[in-house]
Amino acid sequence: MVEVNYTVWIQMVNFIVLIFVLNILLYKPILKIIDKRNRQLEESDEEVKGLQETVDQRMAEYEEKVRQAKLAALDQKKIVQQEGSGEGEKIIEEAKNNISRIIEESHVEIGKEMDEARGILENQSRKTSIEIAEKVLGRGIQ
């Protein structure tokens, strides 16, 4: 049969002390690391969302410019058809060239901005993944 004597009290005190020591040495530092990582991930997500919104906004502006350019070209086309076919063809060609130039310029500008955004995101994802790997492994990575 189990006896309840002073050793039970000593074991309970040892257990309580062990809980406090482990809480200070193990549990709290791990929670701090996890919180820091979660904050970094949230910041990265917010930045990605901001960059995505910027890209979406630029795409909407681009599409609006294209739409306006097409509308302008259609208006010019109607006027030209009324004035005459010879002069009209010349103006239509000019409008098409302008539209192509605007589209090409917009493509180049958006491409540059997307490349910049990709570069920023790629660098941040590399840094974050290296930090996570170092924390998981407990040593530096080269």
Q: What would the mean pLDDT of 94-117 be, rounded to a whole number?
A: 89
The DSSP secondary-structure symbol of 139 reads S
Q: Flag whether pLDDT at 69 surpasses 70.
A: yes
Q: Which residue has the higher pLDDT, 43 or 4?
A: 43
Q: Flag whether pLDDT at 135 surpasses 70.
A: yes
Q: What would the mean pLDDT of 10-18 be, rounded to a whole number?
A: 95
Helix intervals (H) in the chain: 6-22, 28-83, 85-137
Q: What is the pLDDT of residue 93?
A: 87
Q: Flag whether pLDDT at 124 surpasses 70.
A: yes
Q: What would the mean pLDDT of 78-99 be, rounded to a whole number?
A: 79
Q: What would the mean pLDDT of 4-27 be, rounded to a whole number?
A: 92
Q: Flag whether pLDDT at 33 surpasses 70.
A: yes
- Distance between CA 116 and CA 24 in Å, rounded? 44
- Distance between CA 80 and CA 10 in Å, rounded? 102
Please give the structure tokens belonging to residue 118: 């990709």
Please give the structure tokens belonging to residue 77: 């086309």
For residue 20, how far is the Cα from the chain centroid?
Answer: 41
Please give the structure tokens belonging to residue 2: 């189990």
Q: What is the pLDDT of residue 2?
A: 66
Q: Are 58 and 110 in contact (CB under 8 A)?
A: yes
Domain ranges of the chain: 46-119
Q: What would the mean pLDDT of 116-137 be, rounded to a whole number?
A: 87
